[in-house]
Amino acid sequence: MTGHPELARFVEVMARLRVECPWDARQTHRSLVRYLVEETCEVIDAIETGDDDHLREELGDLLLQVVFHATIAAETGRFDIDDVARDIADKLIERHPWVFTDAGVPDDLNATWEAAKKAAKGRESALDGIPESLSALSRALKVVSRVRSHGVPDGLPADPITPEEVGSRALDLVARAQAAGIDPEQAVRDALRDYEKRVRQSEAQA
């Protein structure tokens, strides 16, 4: 970590905590999951408030989770924080040939990125690799974006809409769902599951 002494100090602090602090010493990858989720949400909150001091603090807490997991893995010789950093740097270089080689900038950057991921991971479907644990709305956005970037016909509307319209219409639907005793999160999950089945059928027929 030459040139980044505070990052190196942070890694050393974390390694010491794993030895000398009883709470830190007993944590596992699984026990830390809820903290990873919480810290991610707090970073989002800080971004939306526009407070730099708050954002810097919350990014530090999120970085703690990354270093914590890498430290746990390093204890059994699986990988360490340098391996994590090396892998992501190598991935970014490989997937940005228009930056790190003489290749031209592609017309559709998103589609090019998704195509590179599909090839690298050996994915057969546009839906492969999308986290199941995302909220219904976030997962729906990811699914639709992935399907469209892969050129799979989706049969969904694509006419423009403003952020204000999205927010107000979504809020209206949630309010109507509540009045009808419907869980909107589950309703979206159910609709998304049906949509994914149609996508996979379309891919199989292509």
Residue 75 and residue 16 share a domain: yes
Has residue 119 got a pLDDT over 80? no
- Domain membership flag for residue 105: no
Q: What is the pLDDT of residue 57?
A: 96
- Domain membership of residue 193 as a residue range: 125-205
Q: Taking residues 59-71, what's their average pLDDT?
A: 97
For residue range 1-60, what is the model confidence (pLDDT) as tens digits? 457 899 999 999 999 999 999 999 999 999 999 999 899 999 999 999 999 999 999 999
- Domain membership flag for residue 76: yes
d(CA 141, CA 129): 14
For residue range 81-94, what is the model confidence (pLDDT) as tens digits? 999 999 999 999 99
Q: What pTM did the predictor assign?
A: 0.70
Has residue 206 got a pLDDT over 60? yes
Q: Taking residues 126-155, what's their average pLDDT?
A: 86
Q: Report how far Cα 39 is from the mean position of its chain's Cα atoms.
A: 13
The structural domain count of the chain equals 2
Residue 139 and residue 89 share a domain: no
Q: Taking residues 58-75, what's their average pLDDT?
A: 97
Residue 12 and residue 78 share a domain: yes
Looking at 37, 72, 94, which one is the last position of a domain? 94
Sign of the Cα torsion 185, 186, 191, 193 reads positive
d(CA 66, CA 63): 5
- Domain membership flag for residue 99: no
Helix pair 52-75, 5-20: axis angle to 10 deg: 60
